[in-house]
A = this chain, B = another copy of it.
Amino acid sequence: MSALGLDLGGTSVRAAVLDPVSGAILASAKEQHADRSPEAVVAACVRVAQAAVAAAGCALPGSAAIGVAGQCAGHSGLVVNAPNLGWRMVPLAERLGRALGLRVRVLNDLSAAAIGEHRFGAARGVEDAVLFFAGSGVGAGLLVGGRLAEGGAGFAGEVGHVKVIPRPTTPERRCGCGQLGCLEAYTGGHALTARAREALAAGRMQGLAAAVGGDAALVIPSRIEQAAAAGDADAASLWEEAGELLGDAAANLVTVLNPARLVLGGGVLLGCPLLFARVEARLRDRASASAGQSLAVVRAALGDDAGVVGAALAGAGG
């Protein structure tokens, strides 16, 4: 019996039909969404789901799940806040379930990825694992005692919103969630890019400025990484701070949850080896000695597939 999973991000949605025994993706379909209204996105979800099912040559299963880049109230099927989609309080499970004619479970994209990496990827074979991802945002997926930890209302794992800066700063760096001091507002890919652009506008990060020919629009985290590696002291200093903040947050997750394995991933971490190394060194230094001793730190293994694979497993009751 094949399973259907969807992965919904800020710019695209992907559906995949999975063989839940082997982990093989039998077929998948992907669509960009220029219109991010719930109506347009639900319609896109329906199209990719039907396309994937048709390509796999199977019947639509009775249930499915969708991982969403945002805060999801699992039990109610509500997307509470998805800044990249501009959504607040969207009853996605209900709308998508009605449109597809099946039962739909909604969960955070990193929770879906955690299920995928646990069954078929980098977290295989352990009962306790933490996925720590830094991409455009920062988040975690938590496996505790062999099961996904969802929390009382489905919001567990929102490590991008742990507070790492004790008092207001200038500029204040208000997070997409509305609060001050969030990890993601200082170290997410969007935040790092914005901070580098501010530095360029203030006449700093000369090495980065030269590398992008003075065009701030070309700044992305991997260019900051290159500038830091090439000796731009301002870029190196931003990387040092980001490494400390991300490393401490990952260390604190390890200290509190004592996972056997920490899975690092996300576009920023995997695309910036220097930052990755700083984060790993920092977290090894700062996790409690007892929890750090038996910890394996590994890279995510399923790449962009983790979300749809995990969602398919979650949708099939896994």
Contact = CB atoms under 8 A, between A and B. Distances in A.
Interface stretch (A22-30, A46-54, A139-147, A192-200): A139-147
B294 A153 contact: yes
A258 B288 contact: no
Contacts of A128: 151-152, 156
A288 B248 contact: no
A252 B149 CA distance: 15
A166 interface: yes
A161 B289 CA distance: 9
A257 B154 CA distance: 9
Contacts of A127: 152
Contacts of A142: 256-257
Interface stretch (A11-19, A176-184, A208-216): A176-184
A220 interface: no
A283 to B, nearest CB: 10
A144 B152 contact: no
Nearest to A161: B288
Contact of A255 (B158, B259, B293): B158
A301 interface: no
Contacts of A73: 290
Given A178-B289, A288-B161, A290-B73, A151 B252 contact: no
B258 A153 contact: yes
B155 A145 contact: no
A33 interface: no
B258 A162 contact: no
A73 to B, nearest CB: 7
A140 B256 contact: yes
A206 interface: no
A253 B154 CA distance: 14
**What are the 10 A-B residue pairs with the smallest beta carbon separation, nearest first?**
A151-B258, A152-B260, A161-B288, A155-B258, A162-B252, A128-B152, A156-B258, A155-B290, A71-B290, A144-B144
Given A144-B149, A152-B294, A162-B252, 9 more contacts: A80-B290, A150-B258, A153-B290, A153-B294, A155-B290, A156-B257, A163-B251, A163-B255, A177-B288
29 contacts: A71-B288, A81-B290, A128-B156, A142-B257, A144-B145, A145-B145, A145-B147, A149-B149, A152-B259, A152-B294, A153-B258, A155-B290, A155-B291, A158-B255, A158-B256, A158-B258, A158-B288, A158-B290, A159-B255, A162-B256, A163-B248, A163-B251, A163-B252, A166-B245, A177-B290, A178-B289, A179-B286, A181-B286, A252-B252
